[in-house]
Structure 1
Amino acid sequence: MTYSAEVVAVHQQTPDVKQFRLRVDDHEFDHDPGQHVTVQFTFDGEGTEGDVEPGEEVVRPYTPTNLPGTGELTLAIKQYQDGLASAYMHQRRVGDEVTLGEPEGDLHVREYGNDVAFVSTGTGITPMLAMLRDYLDRGEGHVHFVHGARDREHVMFRETLEGLASEHANLDLTFVLSESEPSWNGRIGHVQDHLGDLFDAVDDRDHYVCGVPEMVVETRETLHDLGAPDERVYAEGWESDAVGEGDGDDD
């Protein structure tokens, strides 16, 4: 099943990420926060073709950052030089119609009574933010949100996250930049390299991970080496052959 959604707001989130608020009339989305929807359109031949021919249907997954229960979804989409779907979406304006697929996917909060960690890079933050909001509404434990970006300018949802941290005493927030910057006193490098310092123990909480496949694999290995049970690590990485060149919830 597909839905025709109207673009009701567009916001420039970072230099290469736009946030789109989409509304489907007479519908209420009921899905698990962390699941994704697909943006679907017919390729018109403009832009980088790659393996896609004009007239072919393009289907790409993006994860809503807002909670279900309304007819609106908020998608944060990064523009990629070779990304068909990201180029298509970045050309959308208020009032345009976008075709969406049903929410699906297996990334969602498992146990609300457990302590949790959300670990992401780039636009892998989108399911993490949705699950964080869900957990803060329903969870009973401690949550540590760890996010990696290239530099401060490319940190997505920073004000939103800092606002949530100020409102919830059970939320700790850590940003990691891959590029060193003047006056930045925070952590530098890759998020997976800091997990041993951030947690006294990793076997006492559930870990949710999202980013490019390489980051996901390395984070899984790091958590395993630190003593996290494999069954308490839930991860998702967008494989290139599943989403096409440059599209999807990764960085």
Structure 2
Amino acid sequence: MELTVLPTDHRIPIESGSNLLELLRKHGVPVSYSCLAGRCGTCRCRVTEGKVVESGRDVLSASVNDGQFVLACQTTLTGSCAIEIPEADEVVVHPAKLLKGVVTGIDALTHDIRRLRLRTNKPLSFSPGQYATLQFASGHIRPYSMANIEGDDELEFHVRLVPGGRASTYIAETLKEGDTVRVSGPLGTAYLRRLHKGPMLCVAGGTGLAPVLSIVRGALAADMDNPIRLYFGVRSPRDLYGADMLRDLATRHPGLDVHIVVSEDADGSGYRGGLVTDAVAQDLPDLTGWRAYVCGAPPMVEAAQILMRQRGLPIERIYADAFYATGI
């Protein structure tokens, strides 16, 4: 039995029952991974031929036309097969950590958004655009994206206060400077692809601005000179935050073009009106050769992905994180 790894065309002898990620690492195949527990999504790959078992679930490559995505750390090989590792040249390895963080600040950015700043006992290694899980107390656990980049003195998170949300209510009403927070991560696959040389499109809605800020800040720190179009959509002017941060980034990155879009009460605000996806559609008729990062509410993320695919951008070049408002 043999495992074929695309696009590198590695051919690896296998035994039934082998774990896919362990086998790839053993044979020196470049592959991204982090948590090793099926939570972070970093080791996602695609089965193009044959059959595997993922977490007790049979996966046939023929079940969809272009193969089936699986998590390598949760996948058992049962026979000869072929897999495709996306972007083998963009491998990131950030071993998952559980850190102790101390609250250094909770700042009001709008009527319902808070900036939470933490200083951890050890550095957290992550790629721009990833997120971490924060535990404030028993039953108060929630994932939030970092807005900063690796190496900063503090971790920065943007928290929207959700009515009835246990974690956000705790942050707003109970959490204070000096309190401790458990930080675990990093998680997520919508991280900055540093080897890409073409134009970048960043679309953020609400607190989806946090990972987009991290991505743009990461591009600046890496001296990337890619043209970047950043679209930030909010409901009304009172929901807008971060405009000064975006202007500051634009002054330091001549290729950064920022568009703020307000869907309600835009008249007299000085900002574009309508939906953020409509602004993208008006400005960018062809996205061939681009990479896109999309973060925000699920309906916006889904609409943006559909639009981008219609404009020539393959789904594997769209890196998305949907922010779900839940009661936790």
- Normalising by the smaller structure, the TM-score range is 0.7 to 0.9
Q: Show the counterpart of 2:14.
A: none
Which of 215, 220, 225 aligns to 1:131? It is 215
Give how far 1:129 is off.
0.7
CA distance in 2, matches of 1:181, 1:147: 14
The amino acid of 1:202's aligned partner reads: L
Which of 154, 158, 168 aligns to 1:86? It is 168
Matched ranges for 1:1-251 at <5 A = 1-25=97-121, 27-43=122-138, 57-70=139-152, 72-90=154-172, 91-110=174-193, 111-138=195-222, 139-239=224-324, 244-245=326-327
Give how far 1:112 is off.
3.8
CA distance in 2, matches of 1:238, 1:10: 21
Residue by residue over 1:10-53, the C-alpha shift from the partner in whole angstroms, topping out at 9 and shown as x without a partner, is 2111111111110113x12211111111111444xxxxxxxxxx
Residue by residue over 1:191-241, the C-alpha shift from the partner in whole angstroms, topping out at 9 and shown as x without a partner, is 11121222252113111111111111111111112222222211111346x
CA distance in 2, matches of 1:29, 1:71: 10
Residue by residue over 1:60-92, the C-alpha shift from the partner in whole angstroms, topping out at 9 and shown as x without a partner, is 100111111145211111111121111112231
CA distance in 2, matches of 1:97, 1:176: 36
CA distance in 2, matches of 1:181, 1:239: 26
CA contact (8 A) 2:127 2:191 kept: yes
Residue by residue over 1:109-144, the C-alpha shift from the partner in whole angstroms, topping out at 9 and shown as x without a partner, is 123422101001011111111011011222221001
Give the 3-state SS of the residue equivalent to 2:287 in structure 1: coil
CA distance in 1, matches of 2:186, 2:311: 34
CA distance in 2, matches of 1:182, 1:236: 30
Give the 3-state SS of the residue equivalent to 1:103 in structure 2: strand
CA distance in 2, matches of 1:182, 1:238: 28
- What percent of counterpart residues are identical? 28
Q: Which moved more, 1:78-87 or 1:177-186?
A: 177-186
Question: CA-atom RMSD, angstroms?
Answer: 1.7
CA contact (8 A) 2:229 2:256 kept: yes
Give how far 1:107 is off.
1.3
CA contact (8 A) 1:39 1:85 kept: no
CA shift in 2, pair 1:200/1:222, >3 Å: closer
CA distance in 2, matches of 1:200, 1:221: 13
CA contact (8 A) 2:140 2:170 kept: no
Q: Which moved more, 1:162-171 or 1:68-77?
A: 68-77
The amino acid of 1:93's aligned partner reads: K
TM-score scaled by structure 1? Answer: 0.85
Considering fraction of residues, name the structure with more strand.
2
Q: Which has the larger radius of gyration?
A: 2
TM-score scaled by structure 2? Answer: 0.66
Structure ranking higher on relative contact order (CA contacts 8 Å, 6+ apart): 1
Give how far 1:184 is off.
2.4
CA contact (8 A) 2:136 2:180 kept: no
Give how far 1:167 is off.
2.2
Q: Would you say how many aligned residue pairs link Structure 1 and Structure 2?
A: 229
Give how far 1:151 is off.
1.7
